[in-house]
Amino acid sequence: MLQEPDTHPPLRVGLVGYAFMGAIHSQAWRTADRFFDLPRRPELVAITGRNQQAASHAGARMGWQDVEPDWQHLIERDDIDLADICSPGDTHAEIAIAALEAGKHVLCEKPLANSVAEAEQMAKAADAAAQRGVFAMCGYSYRRTPALALARRLVQEGRLGTIRQGNWSGSLIVWHSWD
């Protein structure tokens, strides 16, 4: 199989968080250019997490070049263009704001923040960063997956009865209907 030479400049990614969502984002970064014509080629530069040993193991398993002891070191690095935040939700605001202020693009996994006040602080930091050409977004990884689209269609068509409650349980949506 012939491959064209890659002429796209790198997008040097730093990942904060190595557990479930970190693994998903790692796979997405590694394979994104196989699905999309990207203006920049994702490069898995460094990973960090709360447990250094676990972060090192995950980094080696998922193809990251380096491991940092904490998120502060990661966003201080000159060779990181984008901070991908997959850590627990209660850490998102502090990390995202610091990364934006350091000139890093930010992809923050949901939930964006734990309060309206935190979200407003993040939005303010993102607005200021955008003025400098630095961008931020919140990731909704499952929003367009075929399983969710099917579930939505079944609910809209009334094929599941009256839905009283919907729960997200890992990778499965559990619908409760008491008709």
User: What token pair was written down for 82?
Assistant: 């984008």
pLDDT of residue 103: 98
State the pLDDT at residue 171.
42
pLDDT in tens, the chain (179 residues): 656 656 789 999 999 999 999 999 999 999 998 888 889 999 999 999 999 999 999 999 999 999 999 999 999 999 999 999 999 999 999 999 999 999 999 999 988 899 999 999 999 999 999 999 999 999 876 666 777 778 878 888 888 777 766 655 444 444 444 44
pLDDT, residue 6, reads 63
Q: Are residues 81 and 14 in the same domain?
A: yes
Say whether both 29 and 98 belong to one domain.
Answer: yes
- Give the per-residue pLDDT at 172: 41
Give the closest residue to 44 by CA, choosing from 98, 73, 84. Answer: 84
Residues 44 and 97 in one domain: yes
pTM beyond 0.85: the answer is no
Task: Tell me if 131 is assigned to some domain.
Answer: yes
**What pLDDT score was predicted for residue 152?**
79
Pair (87, 152) in one structural domain: no
Domain count, the chain: 2
User: CB-based burial of residue 17 (10 Å sphere; 0-12 exposed, 13-18 middle, 19+ buried)?
Assistant: buried
**Which domain does 49 fall in, by range?**
10-139
For residues 24 and 94, state if they share a domain.
yes
Q: Could you tell me if 98 and 165 lie in one domain?
A: no
Q: What is the pLDDT of residue 1?
A: 60
pLDDT at position 84 is: 98
The verdict on residue 153 lying in a domain is yes
**Is 133 a member of any domain?**
yes
Whether residue 99 lies inside any domain: the answer is: yes
Reduce the DSSP state of residue 116 to 3 states and report it: helix
159-168 contacts, C-beta under 8 A, 24 or more apart: none
119 and 56, same domain (yes or no)? yes
Same domain flag for 54 and 112: yes
User: Is residue 24 located within the same domain as residue 45?
Assistant: yes
Q: Kindly report, residue by residue over 78-122, the tens digit of the pLDDT.
A: 999 999 999 999 999 999 999 999 999 999 998 889 999 999 999
Quick one: 29 and 101 in the same domain? yes
Eight-state DSSP code of residue 122? H
